Structure 1
């Protein structure tokens, strides 16, 4: 299946969002960016890749959103960028890289506020994956050989970081249906079912399907 759509994936920890994204990318024959996005952002910005890993989807209390967005308009090669705190540099470099990648053609981007960065792209489909807590506990416990208690603790902490990061850097709320084009319960549909749902959603979007709601 050929596509012109860019898919951004937000996900609860343990909901298999990354696996679904990579499986979908294989089906569509397009690239999937997760950690790869950090590598490219580091290369293009000239910042150390370790900085991106250390700040990856982690909130910060010192970030002044309006200031950063004003500075973004000057690009990260400007003198204003060089004077920024490191967390602001990392965010802006990622923001810029997400837009550059999207301009190159269809792809899948996982996390990192990609849906917000690409809000002006008409060919973007934003998706959020969630699942009930017990399903996610079983998945994480199995993957990382953890007790249920430790898996639950990891899930709660990771979701809290992702939520804080997203809510802080965007004007939307992490996990809220209003923040995305489509929300899918991967616990009910599984990986294959979720991929099938997305393939159908992409086809409908590219057909320009619209139905009035009364």
Structure 2
């Protein structure tokens, strides 16, 4: 197989992004997170600030939490009033994710990439999670909030990620059935999470006998 893509969804504070970067560095392949927003902006001609603001906009929209706008792969044309809608912003991100999967080996974090690429044979999906204590301790290392404030923030971020995922996919973000591999970083640590991803990659794609 010429190129292999690893998607990583992660619980806030679990270190999934860190693990993803470690995997990318180990394999010497590109790592994509918010870079996808810039690439989608370049592709669409829509100002990057709109892509950057969309999460905040959706998080404040109570209707978003109970509605669904399932991804269908269709790009809304520029002459439509909905060209800069949240749905089309997601569609352009998904278009970039598909183009990456078709052209190179890489690691992609977030953006419901596992769902967007669910029919691609060259893709493996990973979900990284951990217990509350581990996530809280790790999050506190990078922020100046009190523990109580951070815990509320963590719960808020994970709820939004779940709402975001369900809005566009119709599925539950935390459901293990959506992923090839689920890893508890609190028990394994980041190095062993990386090792497990690489081992699964080798077995899944028959890279080592």
- Asked if these proteins are the same fold (TM beyond 0.5), I'd say yes
Is the Cα–Cα contact under 8 Å of residues 39 and 96 in structure 2 kept in the other structure?
A: yes
More moved, 139-148 vs 153-162? 139-148
Matches within 5 A, 1:1-214: 4-56=3-55, 58=58, 61=63, 65=69, 69=72, 72-73=73-74, 75-77=75-77, 79-80=79-80, 83-84=82-83, 86-207=85-206
CA shift, 1:91, in A, is 1.0
Q: Given the two structures, how large is their TM-score scaled by the length of structure 1?
A: 0.87
Q: Judging changes above 3 Å, is the alpha-carbon distance between structure 1 residues 138 and 153 closer, same or farther for their aligned structure 2 residues?
A: same
Q: Given the two structures, how large is their TM-score scaled by the length of structure 2?
A: 0.89
Matched position secondary structure for 2:142: helix
Once residues 145 and 78 of structure 1 are traced to their aligned partners in structure 2, the CA distance between those partners, rounded to angstroms, is 43
Once residues 48 and 107 of structure 1 are traced to their aligned partners in structure 2, the CA distance between those partners, rounded to angstroms, is 25
The number of aligned residues is 203
Once residues 134 and 3 of structure 1 are traced to their aligned partners in structure 2, the CA distance between those partners, rounded to angstroms, is 40
Once residues 118 and 178 of structure 2 are traced to their aligned partners in structure 1, the CA distance between those partners, rounded to angstroms, is 11
CA shift, 1:161, in A, is 0.4
CA shift, 1:132, in A, is 0.2
Once residues 38 and 98 of structure 2 are traced to their aligned partners in structure 1, the CA distance between those partners, rounded to angstroms, is 15
Is the Cα–Cα contact under 8 Å of residues 76 and 82 in structure 2 kept in the other structure?
A: no
Once residues 188 and 3 of structure 1 are traced to their aligned partners in structure 2, the CA distance between those partners, rounded to angstroms, is 33
CA shift, 1:150, in A, is 1.5
Matched position secondary structure for 1:9: strand
Q: Which runs of 5+ in 2 are unaligned?
A: none
Matched position secondary structure for 1:135: helix
Once residues 166 and 83 of structure 1 are traced to their aligned partners in structure 2, the CA distance between those partners, rounded to angstroms, is 21
Q: Judging changes above 3 Å, is the alpha-carbon distance between structure 1 residues 113 and 17 closer, same or farther for their aligned structure 2 residues?
A: same
Is the Cα–Cα contact under 8 Å of residues 76 and 93 in structure 1 kept in the other structure?
A: no
Matched position secondary structure for 2:159: helix
Matched position secondary structure for 1:144: coil
Q: Judging changes above 3 Å, is the alpha-carbon distance between structure 1 residues 32 and 56 closer, same or farther for their aligned structure 2 residues?
A: farther
